[in-house]
Amino acid sequence: MGAEHLGDRAATWDEDPDKRRQADDVARAVAAAVPPGGRTRLLEYGAGTGLVAQGLLARLDGLAVTLADSSSGMRAVLAGKVADGTLPSDARVWELDLEHDDPPAERFDLVVSSMVLHHVRDLARVLDGLAALLDDGGLLCVADLDHEDGSFHEHLHDFDGHHGFERADLSAAMGRAGLVDVTVQDCTVIERDGRPYGVFLAVGRRERRDGA
Ligand SMILES: C[S@@+](CC[C@H](N)C(=O)[O-])C[C@H]1O[C@@H](n2cnc3c(N)ncnc32)[C@H](O)[C@@H]1O
């Protein structure tokens, strides 16, 4: 199973203060990694209910926002937030699953994925897709779980994603996808059943396609 169960929780996702805090911690770390500048075309992949994007909008000026998720339940919440003004009226909501779909023919300056990649089975394919969506020099920011013992998803009997990642392994996978200057830092901690699970932020820059 992938992440289908998450869509069932979309309507009540934002009621959990821990989820709001974690997303804001991710947004703070991503915002600190983005150089100041003009208009930034943001794609959040696996955006869920858009909490990370909301945190980015509060911190960064000039964001043009596209929010992608494979879950119809999450996309319904996102569309509702666009309709009620929680998210900008020009924010786009995309159905996208890069494990199965080709990347759309668009380019972004900033691609963010928060707590998504441990759910995907074909990590290389998804990272290739995210890199393809970046303009030359654009940033890929991946927040995800440090490698754990499998207890994080033990309540899901058929979870078949990753038990987090070794930071060096994910950095290497980002490098194979065409990201350079990859850095990894502590980002936040998730408490579950009294246990702390570390979350890192990995940031890489899309190398120029002409190799220069
Ligand atoms: C744990 S939630 C995180 C939501 C949000 N990024 C946050 O940090 O608050 C993971 C999200 O990734 C989405 N997702 C999982 N697998 C995906 C895939 N292959 N393609 C696109 N979205 C995916 C899920 O539907 C869910 O919304």
User: Please, where are the H alpha helices in the chain?
Assistant: 4-8, 17-33, 51-59, 72-84, 123-132, 167-176
User: pLDDT digit string (tens) for 43-89?
Assistant: 999 999 999 999 999 999 999 999 999 999 999 999 999 999 999 99
User: pLDDT digit string (tens) for 117-139?
Assistant: 999 999 999 999 999 999 999 99
Predicted confidence at residue 18, as pLDDT, reads: 95
Predicted TM-score (pTM) of this structure: 0.96
Pick from 49, 51, 65, 70 the residue to mutate for probing ligand 1's pocket: most ligand atoms within 8 Å of its CB: 70
Predicted confidence at residue 135, as pLDDT, reads: 97
CB atoms within 10 A of CB 5: 15
Predicted confidence at residue 61, as pLDDT, reads: 93
Residue nearest to atom 25 of ligand 1 (CA): 71
Report the C-alpha gap between 81 and 88 in whole angstroms.
Answer: 8
Predicted confidence at residue 39, as pLDDT, reads: 85
Architecture of domain 4-206: 3-Layer(aba) Sandwich (3.40)
Domain ranges of the chain: 4-206
CB 182 within 8 A of CB 165: no
Beta partners for 144?
Answer: 200
Residue nearest to atom 4 of ligand 1 (CA): 48
CB 133 within 8 A of CB 102: no
Predicted confidence at residue 65, as pLDDT, reads: 98
Residues with CB under 6 A from ligand 1: 2-3, 6-7, 23, 46-48, 51-52, 69-71, 74, 96-97, 99, 114-116, 119-120
User: pLDDT digit string (tens) for 153-162?
Assistant: 988 877 889 9
**Does the pLDDT at position 4 exceed 80?**
no
Report the C-alpha gap between 189 and 26 in whole angstroms.
Answer: 10
Of all atoms in ligand 1, which is nearest to the CA of residue 48? Answer: 27
**Does the pLDDT at position 1 exceed 50?**
no
Report the C-alpha gap between 49 and 118 in whole angstroms.
Answer: 18
Predicted confidence at residue 24, as pLDDT, reads: 98
